[in-house]
Amino acid sequence: MDIANLFLELSNPDRLRILKLLNKEKMRLSSISNELGLSVQETYRHLLRLTRSRLISKDNRGHYFLTTFGQYILAPLTSIHFLYKYREYFLTHNLTRIPLKFLERMGELANSRYAPDTFTAIFFIEKIIEEAEKYILIISEQILFGVVKILSKKAETIPVKILLPLYLFIPQEIQINRYMVKN
């Protein structure tokens, strides 16, 4: 099988859904069909194609599962899906300065929320801090002074640690509990 044929097998949304299901657990034909709302015949055709491409296999009890090859192929698809979903952003932003080891993990951001502007990002940060229940760990080049009061209040009930650069200037008017800050 050449790479174009592999991409042909991956181009069908139902086959991708099957791969994602089988990535979680082994399943029988009927279970896959029910879960995806497809006819048994249609599901069988997809399973046959995925089996022929060696992305999945079937055990002697009739359970389909992802092969190790299938797992390796599926892993980067999360990153590709994320890049495609936010393609307008990536068309206008240069990520070449970000180390490859982080770019390869781009798919881990799949369940994140996109902040289209600075104020939305600040709102999300404030919300995350307000909703924190166990701890707050922050690494930043700067302090969002608007969240200092929230952080101080949170520090009374949960551990709060902030890692800041040594050279950062913090105005005296801003009251930050020094035990929270590490330089």
Task: Give pLDDT tens digits for 134-148.
Answer: 999 988 888 887 788
Same domain, 57 and 107: yes
Q: What is the pLDDT of residues 45-59, one digit of tens each?
A: 999 999 999 999 999
The confidence score (pLDDT) of residue 106 equals: 86
Mean pLDDT of the chain: 88
Co-location of 135 and 52 in the same domain: no
Q: What is the mean pLDDT of residues 153-179?
A: 78
Clarify whether residues 147 and 106 are in a common domain: no
Which is more confident, 167 or 49? 49
Task: Tell whether 38 and 96 lie within a shared domain.
Answer: yes
Per-residue pLDDT for 182 more than 60?
no
Q: Is residue 90 part of a domain?
A: yes
**One domain, residues 73 and 135:** no
Based on the fold, state whether residues 68 and 139 are members of the same structural domain.
no
| Domain boundary residue, one of 89, 112, 135 | 112
Question: pLDDT (tens digit, 9 = 90+) per residue, 97-140?
Answer: 888 888 888 888 888 888 888 899 889 989 999 999 999 998 88
pLDDT band at 176 (very low <50, low <70, confident <90, very high): low
Percentage of residues of the chain with pLDDT beyond 90:
51
Indicate if 101 and 167 belong to the same structural domain: no
Where a domain ends, among 86, 112, 138? 112
Within this chain, do residues 2 and 83 fall inside the same structural domain, yes or no?
yes
Q: What is the DSSP letter of 104?
A: T
Domain boundary among 59, 77, 112: 112
Radius of gyration, CA atoms only, the chain? 24
Residue 164 has pLDDT above 50, yes or no: yes
Q: What 3-state DSSP class applies to 68?
A: helix
Are 20 and 105 members of one domain?
A: yes
- Asked if 1 and 74 sit in the same domain, the reply is yes
Any domain includes 158? yes
Q: What is the CATH number of the domain that holds 88?
A: 1.10.10.10
Question: Is 154 part of a structural domain of the chain?
Answer: yes
Residue 165 belongs to what domain range? Answer: 125-182
| Cα-based distances in Å from 80 to 7, 108, 182 | 13, 11, 37
> What tokens does 114 get?
């996109």
**Cα separation, 7 vs 2, whole angstroms:** 9
Given a cut of 80, whether residue 73 has pLDDT beyond it is: yes
Q: Which residue, 136, 96, 131, is CA-closest to 113? A: 131
For residues 98 and 83, is the Cβ–Cβ distance under 8 A?
no
Give domain status of residue 120, yes or no.
Answer: no
Q: Please tell me whether residues 91 and 18 are part of one structural domain.
A: yes
- Predicted local distance difference test score (pLDDT) of residue 75: 86
Give me the number of domains the chain comprises: 2
- What is the Cα–Cα distance from 142 to 161, expressed in whole angstroms? 14
